[in-house]
Amino acid sequence: MALEILSLLMEPKEEIYPWDTTTLAAEAYFSEAEQQLASDPWLEQELIATAPGFLSQLDNLWQAKAPVLQTPHLQAKLSAQFAQYVPQEWLATISRQASQMIDSQKSLGAQLVQCVQELVPNCLEEDLLVLARPYANAMRGNLDTATAAQLNITPEQWTKLSEIQQAKIGLAIALYALKQTPEEEIL
In this prediction, residue 127 carries a pLDDT of 92
**H helices, E strands: number in the chain:** 10, 0
In a domain, 37, yes or no: no
Q: Which residues of the chain carry a pLDDT beneath 50?
A: 69, 145-146, 183-187
3-class DSSP assignment, residue 101: coil
Which phi and psi angles does 5 have, rounded to 5°? -65, -45
The tally of domains found in the chain comes to 1
| The pLDDT of residue 186 | 38
Per-residue confidence (pLDDT) for residue 184, from 0 to 100: 45
Domain extent at residue 144: 71-183
Arithmetic mean of pLDDT over the chain: 79
Does a structural domain hold residue 3? Answer: no
Would you say residue 132 lies in a domain?
yes
119 belongs to a structural domain:
yes
Position 6 in a domain:
no
User: For residue 96, is it within any domain?
Assistant: yes
